Structure 1
Amino acid sequence: MAARTVPARAFAAIGAVAVLVTGLSACSSAEEDKDPEHRSFALQGRTLTIDSDDSALEIVAADEHTSGKVEVTRWFKGSVVVGSEPEVTWKMEDDRLVLRMHCSGVVADCAAKHRIEVPRGIAVKVKDSDGSVQARGFRDALNIRTGDGSVRVTDSTGPLELRTGDGSVRAEVSSRRVSAHTNDGSVQLELRTVPDLVESRSGDGSVTITLPRATYKVSTETGDGGVDVSVPRNDTSAHVVNARTGDGKVTVRTAN
């Protein structure tokens, strides 16, 4: 049987792609964009949904003196060797801010980040398919869901619902109601006000809850790991803490 040969042109094409791949081996970072874009969006109503498919998000409650609009700053860095030119888009549909990134081809390497300043008095819901989410300064309800990425919330007092499919969850807040779930990652909650209800669950990772000094009704469960509860406990307390993990240690402790 005759041996198969690869035409020289095919070798040349393969070699060219290999060189390009080597040149793009370091992943793009949105922080490399030194000239970010900025845009203001009018908001109807008292709620905002942020719908993002693939971007890191930084969400901030704006100062009192702002115009009442949603202010968005966008960083983007990307390249495609063989395929359509990468593109990012943004638009407001009623109360939904839609952020999209289109980046596909033989060798595609793109990264986006958005900083979103939200007027005070607005409840925020975040749906991010792929990307980390950071939020701070909220007095109103905050609901964050991301498919793949860490979630961190600081300096907030409104009720929180935080969920990620794959990533850690961190909150350092004074909220009275907190729900924090992750399928794969640790959960760390630091409450600076005595909460009414804290619910925390991890499929695979440790759960640590730090609370102000008070008496709590505590329920814990772990499939494979230790449990350390050092807060005062009373099953009739109005301050309820539930902590669950499939694999990891559960710690419920009083702040120093």
Structure 2
Amino acid sequence: MARTVRTARTVRTARKAHGTRIALTALAVALLASVAACGASAGDDEDPERRSFALEGRTLTVDSDDSALELVSADVAEVEVTRWFEGRVVVGGDPRVTWEMKDDRLELRVKCSGIVADCSAKHRIEVPRGVAVTVEEDDGSVTAKGFAEPLKIRTQDGSVRVSDSTGPLDLYSDDGSVRALDVESRSVKASTKDGSVKLELGAVPDLVESRSDDGSISIGLPREVSYKVAAGSDDGAVDVSVPRDEDSAHVVSAHTEDGSVTVRNLG
């Protein structure tokens, strides 16, 4: 009889524990749904923070882990940063963002962790003219405008957009599209593992190198000269309509493993 009592008690305990797990699971699902329904957007921050950072040299590296970035070459004496941030953590520590300049390296960090967490950050960075910029982004899109000095952008997860620039460009996304439109750069390197590449150059380039593992490539070039073109796709159509000359000093390469390749004249 004693064994029967213990067995019944065990069953009741198991049922209670099972019910608790179901309730906790339902609560977690509800919290996740609540956060997802009103996902954080940095654009909702109506009172952004601003800060200036002195820069002694002529190079700047922006090191960001989880934020959309907008970079502009501007008539400023220091690096001017505007920060928008919205974050909520239902189960976990308080969300926060940090910024710090070490030598010529601007470090931007977003702290947002927990069982139920949702954060969004955006930084607009105004860079003094004449400064060469390198961007290292773990998770976020990057846009840049107005650069006459070398610009190098690397993002692991996000798109890259560059416009109105004349300096050498070196652009890469591990997972996202790459665009360089309305630029007059003499040297453009653009590649992505998963996404398309689109380049439109307003000045005759000396070198264009583009590659995608999974996505189409489109390159628009000025009409003034002929180009030495190497274009190919493992699985897609290739259309090269610019004048070609194997001895040309203006070299263009475009290769994708899966997608179409187009090299054409603008206008």
Query: What TM-score do you get using the length of structure 1 for normalisation?
Result: 0.95
Shift of 1:18: 3.3
Where does residue 218 of structure 2 map in the other structure? 208
* Structure 2 residue 172 is the aligned partner of structure 1 residue 177: no
**Aligned match for 1:187, one of 177, 184, 197:** 197
* Structure 2 residue 58 is the aligned partner of structure 1 residue 46: yes
Shift of 1:13: 4.0
Give per-residue Cα distances to partners, 1:38-80, cap 9 Å, x unaligned: 00000020000000001000000012xx2x1000000001111
* Structure 2 residue 100 is the aligned partner of structure 1 residue 91: yes
Distance 1:158 1:113 in 2: 25
* Structure 2 residue 150 is the aligned partner of structure 1 residue 141: yes
Distance 1:175 1:6 in 2: 68
* Structure 2 residue 133 is the aligned partner of structure 1 residue 124: yes
Percent same amino acid among aligned pairs? 62
Distance 1:217 1:18 in 2: 57
* Structure 2 residue 92 is the aligned partner of structure 1 residue 77: no
Give per-residue Cα distances to partners, 1:91-129, cap 9 Å, x unaligned: 000000000001110001011000000000000000000
Shift of 1:25: 1.5
Shift of 1:81: 1.0
Shift of 1:16: 3.6
Distance 1:139 1:11 in 2: 59
For structure 2, the residue ranges without an aligned partner over 5 or more in a row are 1-6
Distance 2:153 2:147 in 1: 13
- Letter of the structure 1 residue corresponding to residue 192 of structure 2: T
Distance 1:239 1:167 in 2: 28
* Structure 2 residue 214 is the aligned partner of structure 1 residue 226: no
Shift of 1:254: 0.3
- Letter of the structure 1 residue corresponding to residue 247 of structure 2: T
Shift of 1:9: 5.3
Secondary structure class of the residue paired with 1:234: coil
After TM superposition, the runs of 4+ consecutive aligned structure 1 residues lying more than 6 A away are none
The aligned length equals: 253
Shift of 1:11: 5.0
Secondary structure class of the residue paired with 2:29: helix
Where does residue 35 of structure 1 map in the other structure? 47
Shift of 1:29: 1.0
Distance 2:176 2:142 in 1: 10
Distance 2:214 2:203 in 1: 28
Structure with higher helix content: 2
Which has the larger Rg?
Answer: 2
